[in-house]
Every structure is written in structure tokens, then in C-alpha cells.
Amino acid sequence: MEGHKSKRSKVALGIIMFLCCLAAIYLGISAYFIKHFYLGSTINSMNVSGKTVEEVNEKMSSEIQNYSLELQEKGDVKEQIKGSDIDVKYSQDGESKIKSLKDNQNPLGWISGVFGKKNNETTELISYDEQLLNKVLNGLPGINSKNVVESKDASFEYGDGGYKIVNEVYGNKIDKEVLKQKVSDAIVKEDTTLDLDSSDCYKKPKYTADSQEVTDAKNTLDKYTNVTITYASGNNKEVVDGSAIHNWLSVDDDMQVAFDEKKVKKYVSTKLGSTFNTFGKTRDFTTTSGSKVKVSGGDYGWLIDSTKETKDLIETIKSGQSTTKEPIYAQKAVSSDKNDIGNTYVEVNFTKQHVWFYKNGSLVTDGPCVSGNVSLKLATPPGTYALNYKEKNATLKGEDYSSPVTYWMPFNGNVGLHDASWRSPNEFGGSTYLTSGSHGCVNLPVELAHKIFDNIEAGTPVVCYNE
């Protein structure tokens, strides 16, 4: 029995001594790791296994002095930013940061490094001159090259079949602000390469052919250009369709379709105006005697209200509904035929000093007149006018006269038809107007003025001409 006890005591003592040896070895190794990094330790991917803080700092400083960053651009173009170009240095806070990392490693936990690597990421180990970096970046060919291609959003092209989408363009223009940030991040991390494309340093299109906004814009463009608006007035007709409408449309940077109102208004004023406007045009007029004269001047005729019609045209197109309509007029004539004077009008022949009044194609009355005094340069202006209104018992006033009249029918400002009871019957007609004419009005015998007054209405054309 005593022999067995003695044997067990020796075994126990041996185990204790072995464990004490292991403990001594472990503590000895732990003492080593008081000043050294664990095995398997890396800092920013740099192997610092078994190194002291001083050794790490020295290695960091040495590698930073030789630091360079390669920029990998499109087209297999490569640029290099050398650390010396931007005054790269090991930062003043570097040593304290490395020491802090070491202090976080408990020497007694060194065994964990044997079974698993530990990478420590830390920043601000590197400092650089930001102004020098800006200068280097500004000098890169990828920023200043004449061969830089701008990225373009998907766009639209109008043709015989309507609109089609033109694919976006991916250019090689660098976004300087993004590049600066990516380069700064790379330097801080001590990366040695930076792929500009995968790092999104290039300006990209905002909208591609597959973007919903592009599809929506195309649908709107198609909606507008599929509209057909037929303008019709009398025998005149003008058709507005996609061939004209597409010239007025644009798509902004947010893929919103807009109308160019100036272009629409120009179309209304010129194209529609040339078809429907008669205001200010020279007219071919057949006189009572059968001769044909050209009558220019006056304020009579059809005149489109360009502002209102422009807005109405745009709204009609936006509705997407084809329609037939008349233009919106600022002024109308009595007839929409080629001869917009119609068959009710006053005819004044200055050469013959004679007036005729036709109503519904029939002569109502006619007689001699006296027009403006030619010698005093007060001749009545020729042209085609619309009667403004008619007024009974009016007083006509000027700088040197005040004349009461019974029948007053103005058609051109203060110029009008009226009776002139102060003239004797033999003064009307002939050559009286050359030296003793009116102040510009058309003087009529009382009976003639009365007959016209009783049958005429405001808006009736008054055609004045020299034959």
C-alpha cells in the first residue's frame, strides 16, 4: 500500500512540475509580447508580427517615404501620384496610434495570434499637402485633355416614324470632386492603386435609355406630335401636325417636356398669319367704274391674336386630341372669303371726289364729296378701314375750328364721313379738295350723309383710294 502511494505522489509531482514549466514558458513569452505585437498582427495590411512599436513606426515611416498611388483610367491609361509630389509624411499622430494599437493587445493573450490573424485598420497615419494634391489633380490629362468626352443622357430624335430614343453616352470626363475624395481616402488607407471607373470617379449619365423618366418623356412627346390641328376659316386652311410641333418641343435636364412659346408664337404670327391675316395687306379692289386698283394702308382686316392663340394652341396640343378650329382673332373682317370686304362697304374715290355706298351688293346711294386739303398737306389717307361707330349731332373740334355736324361716321381716328352744311352744293366734287379741302375728313352733302348714316353699321369697310 505504501508503495502505491509513493508512486502516485511522484506522478502528481511530475505533473505539477510540468505545468509550472509550461506556465513559466507562457509567462516568458508573454513578457516578450509586452513590447511586441502578436504573431499574425497586421496594420493596414502591413505585417507587424513580433515587431515593437518603434520598429513599426520606423517601417511605416520608411514605406510612406516611398509611397505612390497609381490611377487606373479608362482606355488603359495610367497616371501616378508620387508621395514626394504631394509632400506625403508619416503623421505626428502615427506613433501614438501605433502605440494605442499595441496597448490594446494584452500580453497574456498572445496565444490568440497563433490561431488567427488580426488586421488593425487605422487612419491618419499619413499627412499630405492638400494644395499640392489639388495642383497634381488639376494637371492630370484626364481632367484637362482636349480629348475628354462628356457623358450624355439618353435623348430623343424625331423622324418619319415619330420619336426614337437615342442611347446615353458614357464619357471619360472625371468628376474632380469625387476623384479628390477617392484619392484622399486611398492615401489615408495607403492604397497603392485606384481604379477610377470602379470607384465612380467619372461623370455618368443621369438618365439612360432604360430609365422610366426617359420612357415617360417619349410617351409625352409622342402624345403631342400625334395631334393634328386643322385651322379653317372661309376658304383658308392650315394643318398643324407633328412635322411642325416637334420643332417647338424640348426635354430639360429632368426629362420634363416643355414648349418653346417663342417658337410657337412665331409660327402663329408668320405661318398662320400669312394664311389668315388680311390686316395691313394690299388689296386688289374693283372700283365702281370697273377699273382695278391696289389699296394699301388702313386698319381693316382679319388679325390673329398671337398671344391668345399661342396659349390655346399649346393647350390643344397638350390635350392630345386632334381637332378643327378657327384662330382666335384680335380683329375680324366682315367676310372670310378672299375678298374680305364683302358686298357692304363705302367706296371713296379721291381722284373723282365721289362716294358710293353699297349694301348687300346693291348701291344704296352715291354722290360728290370733298376730302382733305391737299395744298395744306391734309389729304385724307388712302386705305381700307372699318367704321368705328356712328353718332348723331356731334361737334368736331380742332386747333382752329369747332364744327357741329348732324351725321358723324369716323373710320380712321378723327377722320370720318360727315355732312358739311357750311358748303354750298357746287363746292362738292371737282377740284375743291386741292386748295379748299377739309382738315382730313370726307365732307358730304347733308342728304348723302343722311342716307349713308341710316343704312350703315359699325365695322362696315370704308375703302379710300386714288385712281
20 is annotated as an active-site residue: no
How many CA within 13 A on the CB side of residue 189? 12
- Is 243 part of any domain? yes
Is 98 a residue whose pLDDT tops 80?
Answer: no
415 with 320, same domain? no
Give the Cα separation of 261 and 269 in Å (integer).
12
Last residue of one domain, picked from the residues 296, 331, 366: 331
Least confident of 24-28, 189-193, 329-333, 384-388: 24-28
294 with 260, same domain? yes
- Is 398 part of any domain? yes
Of the candidates 201, 369, 439, 441, the residue annotated as catalytic is: 441
Q: What percent of the chain clears pLDDT 90, i.e. is strictly above it?
A: 60
418 is annotated as an active-site residue: yes
Least confident of 60-64, 117-121, 130-134, 438-442: 117-121
Question: What is the pLDDT averaged over residues 339-348?
Answer: 96
- Is 327 part of any domain? yes
- Residue 352's Cα: distance from chain center in Å? 60
Inter-residue contact 183 to 68 (CB < 8 Å): no
308 with 420, same domain? no
Give the Cα separation of 422 and 406 in Å (integer).
12
- Is 267 part of any domain? yes
DSSP reduced 3-state for 216: helix
Nearest to 295 by CA among 467, 435, 134: 467
Who wins on pLDDT, 300 or 337? 300
Structural domain harbouring 311: 212-331
Confidence band, pLDDT 50/70/90 cuts, at residue 290: very high
Last residue of one domain, picked from the residues 306, 331, 356: 331
Is 145 a residue whose pLDDT tops 60?
Answer: yes
Confidence band, pLDDT 50/70/90 cuts, at residue 119: low
pTM over 0.85: no
Pairing of strands 41-43, 118-120: parallel
396 with 295, same domain? no
Who wins on pLDDT, 382 or 23? 382
Nearest to 33 by CA among 126, 95, 118: 118
DSSP 108-153: GGTHHHHHS-EEE----SEE--HHHHHHHHHT-HHHH-TT----B-
- Is 206 part of any domain? no
357 with 443, same domain? yes
325 with 349, same domain? no
426 with 451, same domain? yes
pLDDT for 123 equals 58
What are φ and ψ of residue 327, in 5° steps?
-65, 160
Domain count, the chain: 2
- Is 29 part of any domain? no
Question: What is the pLDDT averaged over residues 93-100?
Answer: 68
**pLDDT, the chain, mean:** 88
Reading the block at residue 188, the C-alpha cell is 489615408
Is 48 a residue whose pLDDT tops 80?
Answer: no
- Is 310 part of any domain? yes
Is 3 a residue whose pLDDT tops 60?
Answer: no
Give the Cα separation of 235 and 453 in Å (integer).
32
Is 112 a residue whose pLDDT tops 70?
Answer: no
CATH (domain of 270):
3.10.20.800
Of the candidates 201, 369, 418, 464, the residue annotated as catalytic is: 418
270 with 370, same domain? no
Last residue of one domain, picked from the residues 282, 301, 331: 331
353 with 312, same domain? no
354 with 305, same domain? no
309 with 240, same domain? yes
Q: Which residue has the cell 381722284?
A: 351
- Is 406 part of any domain? yes
- Stated as kind and residue range, the H or E segment containing 194 is strand 193-195
pLDDT for 52 equals 85
Who wins on pLDDT, 440 or 95? 440
Who wins on pLDDT, 172 or 310? 310
CATH (domain of 398):
2.40.440.10
322 with 405, same domain? no
Is 315 a residue whose pLDDT tops 80?
Answer: yes
